[in-house]
Structures are given as C-alpha cells and as structure tokens.
Structure 1
Amino acid sequence: MPAEQIHLVRHGEVSNPQGVLYGRLPGYGLSDLGLRMAEAAAADLVSRGRPVSALVVSPLQRTRESAAPIAAAFELEPIIDERVIEPTNRFEGTRMRGPGGSLRRPANWPALMNPWRPGWGEPYRAVVARMVAAIVDASASVDGGDVVVVSHQMPIWMTHLHLAGQPLAHDPRRRRCALSSITTLEPSSSAARGLVEIGYRDPAAALAAGASDVGAV
C-alpha cells in the first residue's frame, strides 16, 4: 500500500547576509528565524494527527536542518535523496539585482532570453522528471501512512505546475511556495499524472514579515 499523502515541505529562511543566489553552494544553513520556521512546519504536520512513515530530504544543509524537527517529532531517520535537490544554476554565488548584479551584465543576457528552456541552469522538464520520480518512489517505499519530502522552492513549484497541467515557464516572483510551506499531494489512479495536489499551507506565515528570501533559484 503506497503512502496516503505526500507533503512537500520547503526549507526555512537561510542565513544569507550577502544576499547571493546560493543554489547548491555549501555552507548555507538556516538562520535563527529559519529554525523557528522549520519548527512551525513540523508542528503543523503533527497537528494533522496523521502517521508519517518516511522522511525524504535534499542533501543540502538548509533542507537537512529543516527536516530535523520533523525527524524528531515522528522519530524518523531522514533519507537523503539527490533527486529533490535545488536545480543547478550558473549564477550561484552572485547577487542578481542591485549594483554589480548579474542582471545588469550584458554578457549574461543570452542565458536569460528563453524562459521555456532556461539557459541559466537545469531545464524545467528535468527538474519535474526527477522530482516526480523521487515522490513516486518514496510513496511506494512505505506500507501506508504519509511521506514528507523536504525540498526547495523551484522543484516544489515545478511539481505543482506539472500536476496542474500548467506551462512550466513562469515568473519566479509569482511562485506560491513560501518558506517552510507545505504542499500536499495524494496518489490518484484517476489523475492523468498519477498524483493530485490537495492542499497548501503556510505555517510560518506569522514569521515571514521579517524574513529574507532572495537566494532561491
């Protein structure tokens, strides 16, 4: 029996005083506020009163730290899965906007011309393929209960667009995937893609006013 529900949890706020696009760079863990956000996501999952059978986590520091309170709450050992990691991005380590920002350099503009096939990093369809494969495998790995996947904004939003049958090209500023938010899916034999999105929650919304969210791909 596969998982009853799959909860896609985004990591909390990252300590990023320079405001760079951190992507897959090492050394970017949660801020103190991000740790509180991660606790809020864990508390939300506990409040649902649903059993959680497995916890799948991106290998990056910020997602592993975000998974820690969930692991403690449900007494689970996190399973690292490279397929739910942040996409690659040629602008890692740079500031995108403001003085000296990558968007102001003409040499970078060709990589930004085609939103359907992003020249700045991993293609959208590749992100969707690996995310869906990881979700399906995680769902099939348990005998009932739910599965939690701690990942990143872009992979979670790509999964949402795919399941909704919407174009994958989009404006990153319009993603509905807040820090420590939870997007919930269910397996469905009647759905064209085998999964259906059934809910979205933002348990850290009360903390978001003071948060910085500038480093996502």
Structure 2
Amino acid sequence: MARIYMIRHGKAAAGWDSDPDPGLDDLGRTQSEAAAQDIMQREQIALPILSSPLRRCRETAAPLAAAWKFEPVIETRVAEVPSPTDDLEERGRWLRGVMAGTWAEAVPSSGGAHTAYDTKLLTWRQSVVDALLELKEDTVIFSHFIAINVAVGHALEDPRVISFRPDNGSVTVFETKGDTLALIEKGREADTKVN
C-alpha cells in the first residue's frame, strides 16, 4: 500500500484557453511554497516526487524538490487531459462542456465504435489511474485539475468528470489498495473559476 499526495499545480499565469503551457504567476509561486511546506509537515523524510511535464506543474514541484534536494521524475500519464484540438479557443469551449458532464457523455459511442479521439481520452483517463496504482512507495505527484478528478472519481466510483474542485496548490491524499484507490483526504476546494 502506498500513500499518494496529489497536488494541483499553483495558479498559472494564463488560462487553459489562452496558453498551452503557462508557468506560474506570483500567487502560484506562493501556493507552490505553501504546498511544499504542507508536505514537509506531513512527511519527515523525503519521498519520490513525480510531476506532469507541463511547466506549471514542474514549477509547483520546484520548492519541494529543492528542499529535498532531488529532481522530480516527469510522469506523462498525470499530464493535462488531452484535447481534440490545438486551437485554444475551441479547446476552452470543449473543456467547459466536458467538465459539466460524465465520462460517458464525454466519450459518446456511435453504435459501440469510438473515434480515435474518444479512444485517446479513455486511454488517458485509465493511464492516470494506472500511474497511481503502480506506485509501491509513498509518493508526491504534481498534476492537474481533471487528472486529480480522475483519481477521485475512480476512488469514489463517481462517473462525473468533475466530482470536486481542487484549488491551486491543494493536496489530495490517496492510498493504493490492490487494484483500487482509496480517497483519504480531499484537498482544499476552489471557489473561483478553474484555469
């Protein structure tokens, strides 16, 4: 059994419909420092650190990595949800629509056949869960809003794409239990718009 601390990246300098890979803004940097302090208060020894390859996650991981004196391992399976388009405006509209429903609505099947994108989305969703379930030791992961929701949805058997709104820099805690995840603690929830 492994305990997993899944941290949402700090506030980004731009929203997901205006920049494909923004870094952190000043508040985001403050949130990354606070997340590092939170983890170091919980754990007396350094744990492995995994991070999404996206800049906002790597920058959020940096204070903890510096304190523990080692580099995070990049884990592509906990990256941002893949989009069916590279156009940022279209991506924003698509994402707002997907976030309002269930995974079954996000991946509609026509006669049982999925499009190539539907398959990519289903594969990504499963890969988030697989990345967590494969962990054999306590680990800290810096990830994204929807990826954290995938893990929570798996743990609670909740079919919604969004079952809670983890705030920037919040820590959600899971434990692996065989081929399932147990949700131990939900992170602090956001009361502002998601970006």
Question: Which residue, out of 79, 89, 93, partners 1:94?
Answer: 89
* Length-normalised TM-score, structure 1: 0.70
What's 1:187 paired with?
176
Matching of residue 199 in structure 1 with residue 185 in structure 2: yes
CA, structure 1 residues 131+22, in 2 after alignment: closer, same or farther (shift >3 Å)? farther
Contact 1:127–1:158 (Cα < 8 Å) also in 2: no
CA, structure 1 residues 80+102, in 2 after alignment: closer, same or farther (shift >3 Å)? closer
Contact 2:5–2:174 (Cα < 8 Å) also in 1: yes
CA, structure 1 residues 180+114, in 2 after alignment: closer, same or farther (shift >3 Å)? closer
Question: Which residue, out of 150, 163, 166, partners 1:158?
Answer: 150
Aligned length: 181
- What does the per-residue CA deviation read over 1:125-172, in whole Å, with 9 as the maximum and x for residues that have no partner? 4333111221233x22x4xxx2001000001111101111111x34x4
Contact 1:91–1:102 (Cα < 8 Å) also in 2: no
Counterparts of 1:102 and 1:187 in 2: how far apart (Å)? Answer: 34
Counterparts of 2:174 and 2:103 in 1: how far apart (Å)? Answer: 27
Q: Which runs of 5+ in 1 are unaligned?
A: 104-108
Contact 1:186–1:195 (Cα < 8 Å) also in 2: yes
Counterparts of 2:81 and 2:32 in 1: how far apart (Å)? Answer: 21
Give RMSD over aligned pairs: 3.2
Contact 2:49–2:140 (Cα < 8 Å) also in 1: yes
- What does the per-residue CA deviation read over 1:38-84, in whole Å, with 9 as the maximum and x for residues that have no partner? 11111111111343320000000000000001111222221001111
Task: Report the structure number with the largest CA radius of gyration.
Answer: 1
CA, structure 1 residues 69+113, in 2 after alignment: closer, same or farther (shift >3 Å)? closer
Contact 1:20–1:92 (Cα < 8 Å) also in 2: no
Counterparts of 1:136 and 1:113 in 2: how far apart (Å)? Answer: 25
Contact 1:8–1:183 (Cα < 8 Å) also in 2: yes
Counterparts of 1:15 and 1:157 in 2: how far apart (Å)? Answer: 22
Counterparts of 2:31 and 2:101 in 1: how far apart (Å)? Answer: 35
Contact 1:29–1:62 (Cα < 8 Å) also in 2: yes
In the TM superposition, residue 116 of structure 1 has moved relative to its aligned partner by 1.9
**SS in structure 2 opposite 1:64?**
helix
Contact 1:84–1:151 (Cα < 8 Å) also in 2: yes
CA, structure 1 residues 200+75, in 2 after alignment: closer, same or farther (shift >3 Å)? farther
What's 1:106 paired with?
none
In the TM superposition, residue 11 of structure 1 has moved relative to its aligned partner by 0.1
Matching of residue 21 in structure 1 with residue 10 in structure 2: no
Counterparts of 1:67 and 1:14 in 2: how far apart (Å)? Answer: 13
CA, structure 1 residues 102+45, in 2 after alignment: closer, same or farther (shift >3 Å)? closer
Report percent identity of matched pairs. 29
CA, structure 1 residues 201+159, in 2 after alignment: closer, same or farther (shift >3 Å)? closer
Contact 1:153–1:177 (Cα < 8 Å) also in 2: yes
What's 1:42 paired with?
36
Counterparts of 1:20 and 1:186 in 2: how far apart (Å)? Answer: 29
CA, structure 1 residues 157+113, in 2 after alignment: closer, same or farther (shift >3 Å)? closer
Letter in 1 for 2:143: S
